[in-house]
Amino acid sequence: MDIRDLLLKDVMIMDLKATTKAAAIDELVHQYYVKGIINDEELYKKDIIKREAESTTGIGDGIAMPHAKNKAVTRATVLFAKSDAGVDFDALDGQPVHLFFMIAAPEGANNTHLQALAALSSLLINPDLVAALKKAQTPDDVQQLFADAQAAKEAKDAADEAAEAAKAQTVAAPTTTDNSERPFIVAVSACPTGIAHTYMAEAALKKQAEAMNVDIKVETNGSEGVKHRLTADDINRAVGVIITADKKVEMDRFDGKHLLNRPVIDGIKKPEELINETLAEKGSIFHATGADGAASEDDGESKSAWSKIYANLMNGISNMLPFVVGGGILMAISFMVEQTVGAHSTTFIFLNGIGNWAFSFLIPVLAAYIAVSIGDRPALMPGFVGGFMANTAAASIVKTTSVAGFLGGLAAGFIAGYVIVLLKHLFRNLPKSLDGLKPMIFYPILGLLIVGFLMYFIVDPIFAVINHALTTFLKSMGTGNAILLGTVLGGMMSIDMGGPFNKAAYTFAIGVYTATGDGKLMAAVMVGGMVPPLATAIATTFWKNKFTADERKAGISNYVLGISFITEGAIPFAASDPLHVIVSSVIGAALGGGLTQLWHVSVPAPHGGLWVTPLATNWIFYLLAVVIGAVVAGVILGIWRPALKEEN
């Protein structure tokens, strides 16, 4: 496929007007929408911003490659844009960005498009091409530069393949000896989207290796699947392994090799450093875990202890949430049905039963997937059983009918995960012939025995007492304390709008709801989560001169997102103006959360926003809490936010 079929001339922007990152994204996305490349501006922009939140696509040297792959895209396209003045795009080198390549890939992009996108990405590590692009004056210039670069690369690739084939024949010849064999290393490149960074890292590593007289084979885990897969022979004869990846890759195959595990951007920006360290065998010796794709304790170099704990916790919560939402909503609907047809109706019994059955899996699933995040697949079963034990009354050990509950489930997940990590460490030196017994015999039996023992004799008794005390306190809590707690939880929902604070507040409310069946705190977090998008919607409606045209459009959609309890609708606003948006949202959300407790509002559903209003007790006050919190936050934002500067 000719790369010019992706770099459409009529889509290019040769004089980008934006001066900030947010404005640049708005201008680029809007150009796609105007040209018919995307049919939903907000959906595509949401994924662009989500990708930027993971790590900046400003890769340095004046280049940024924002990209997204979703159903809003009608055809695979690369939007080239040039800014003579430069834009502060949070680039890794801190320098302004002059060249933008916004990649749009449809969900069903075929391999031809993906290969072309990969080829385009790999060309951008050529400094001569980048320098020429900065001087380009017309779309025709841009297309011709890429066409020439692509032709040159294809010719070189063909020559390299021929040389590699000739070398393979020489190595196979029994009479040949070669005492000047170049060092050989292997690498794996991968990024979450698999469109740009994966192939840029591959190209940068190969180019640097050639300059250093080093042989390298790079496996890419991109949108079109795994390419240039490393064989066992490749790995065995390699001096070491370089992993430049921002997602999980198969790791066990590198057992016993010196291994560097770095972000994908390091493959693009630091190829010489990675190759030198690999040749010097500075990477830790990697020890396989016996589970597909798992990493050992030696493979990480950059994550803090807290970030690991948070990632493990979020893995459990994200897998638990479908049970929470599905079961909770059906249970809530069953209560509505009960008021009409009675508690003995088949419809009520059916809906309520399904909801309760789904809820019975909450704590086991939470524990199981926390454990899996830590110890991989062998930790699933002991984590699941530990979570089930936390959900079972501990009356046989202590004089209580309480269960260890949500807190016990959290403990079960972390215990099971680290028990498996410990077992992997203890059995790491077993003979290779016994490797098959570890996941089939040793880990399941010993893991279950140890986790079961700890849960039965220690965790369940202790956390049953704690859970009982917490439940008793919450039930007997006075109005003043309830208002304070509701205020705190409501405010937390708006601090990071889907981040750790938001998840902590929501998880706490879910834990209380599952333990007590009382939806008062669910009301507080529900209101707190609805306020930010509704506040931005109100502000963009009544203070239009303070928002861009794209922000005003997003504000309209935030009315729907807000009443649906989708807090993330406010993230684009918070990303571009965190001070005004977050502070005003926290004030309104905290006020709304406190009001739910003052007015004794209860929402027996874990999700749904205003759509579950018929289920709420004191539903008029539920609506009032939402309206008051949103209006207060919206007015503060509208008044406080400065007006847009008029462009000259």
Residue 48: exposed, middle, or buried by beta-carbon count in 10 A (0-12, 13-18, 19+)?
Answer: buried
What is the structure's pLDDT at 301? 44
Helix axes 578-598, 619-640, angle to 10 degrees: 160
In a domain? residue 291: no
Q: Are strands 225-227 and 215-222 parallel, antiparallel or unpaired?
A: antiparallel
> pLDDT tens for residues 414-459?
999 999 999 988 988 877 667 667 888 889 999 999 999 999 989 8
Give, in degrees to the nearest 5, the angle at Cα 208 between 204 and 209: 115
CATH code of residue 280? 3.40.50.2300
Q: What single string gives the DSSP state of each residue in 183-215?
A: PEEEEEEE-SS-SSHHHHHHHHHHHHHHHTT-E
Do 126 and 150 touch, CB atoms closer than 8 A? no
> Could you tell me if 524 and 392 lie in one domain?
no
> Could you tell me if 147 and 80 lie in one domain?
yes
Total number of residues shown for the chain: 648
> Could you tell me if 467 and 491 lie in one domain?
no
- The percent of residues in the chain predicted with pLDDT above 90, rounded, is 33
Both tokens of 68, joined, read 């997204």
> Could you tell me if 399 and 487 lie in one domain?
no
> Could you tell me if 243 and 379 lie in one domain?
no
The one-character DSSP state at 254 is G
Flag whether pLDDT at 306 surpasses 80: no
What is the structure's pLDDT at 129? 87
What is the structure's pLDDT at 293? 43
Segment 193-213 shows an average pLDDT of: 80
Segment 17-43 shows an average pLDDT of: 92
What is the structure's pLDDT at 291? 45
Question: What is the residue type of 533?
Answer: P
- Of the ranges 283-292, 367-376, 504-513, 608-617, which is most confident? 367-376
Flag whether pLDDT at 296 surpasses 70: no
Domain count, the chain: 4
In a domain? residue 176: no
In a domain? residue 173: no
> Could you tell me if 130 and 189 lie in one domain?
no
pLDDT tier at 302 (50, 70, 90 boundaries)? very low
> Could you tell me if 454 and 361 lie in one domain?
yes
Flag whether pLDDT at 14 surpasses 60: yes
Domain-terminating residue out of 475, 492, 509? 475
Beta bridge partners of 101: 80
Give the separation between CA 628 and CA 630, rounded to whole angstroms.
Answer: 6
> Could you tell me if 494 and 630 lie in one domain?
yes
> pLDDT tens for residues 98-135?
999 998 888 765 554 456 556 676 777 778 888 899 89
Beta bridge partners of 220: 189, 227
What is the structure's pLDDT at 242? 94
Segment 485-511 shows an average pLDDT of: 83
Question: Is 67 part of the annotated catalytic residue set?
Answer: yes
Flag whether pLDDT at 173 surpasses 50: no
What is the structure's pLDDT at 168? 55
What is the structure's pLDDT at 224? 59
Residue 278: C-alpha distances to residues 259, 360, 395, 474 (Å): 7, 50, 57, 57
In a domain? residue 39: yes
Segment 626-647 shows an average pLDDT of: 88
Do 200 and 121 touch, CB atoms closer than 8 A? yes
Segment 43-48 shows an average pLDDT of: 90
- The percent of residues in the chain predicted with pLDDT above 70, rounded, is 85
In a domain? residue 599: yes
> Could you tell me if 354 and 434 lie in one domain?
yes
CATH code of residue 20? 3.40.930.10
Question: Is 344 part of the annotated catalytic residue set?
Answer: no
Residue 147, domain extent: 3-152
Flag whether pLDDT at 375 surpasses 70: yes
> Could you tell me if 471 and 485 lie in one domain?
no
Flag whether pLDDT at 644 surpasses 80: no
> Could you tell me if 462 and 492 lie in one domain?
no
Domain-terminating residue out of 429, 460, 475? 475
Beta bridge partners of 261: 243
What is the model's pTM?
Answer: 0.51
What is the structure's pLDDT at 27? 94
Segment 39-62 shows an average pLDDT of: 84
- Among residues 113, 191, 580, 607, which one is catalytic? 191
Closest CA to 82 of 148, 132, 150: 132
> pLDDT tens for residues 209-268?
988 999 999 998 875 567 788 888 889 889 999 998 877 778 888 888 889 988 887 888
Question: What is the residue type of 16?
Answer: L
> Could you tell me if 276 and 338 lie in one domain?
no
In a domain? residue 523: yes
Of residues 84 and 480, more confidently modeled: 84
What is the structure's pLDDT at 343? 82
Segment 180-192 shows an average pLDDT of: 82
Domain-terminating residue out of 441, 475, 509? 475
Give the separation between CA 142 and CA 576, rounded to whole angstroms.
Answer: 31
State the average pLDDT for the chain: 82
Q: Which residues of 192-220 are buried (b: 16+ CB within 10 A; e: fewer)?
A: ebbbbbbbbbbbbbbebbeeeebbbbbbb
Closest CA to 562 of 543, 544, 588, 580: 588
In a domain? residue 558: yes
Segment 320-331 shows an average pLDDT of: 79
In a domain? residue 296: no
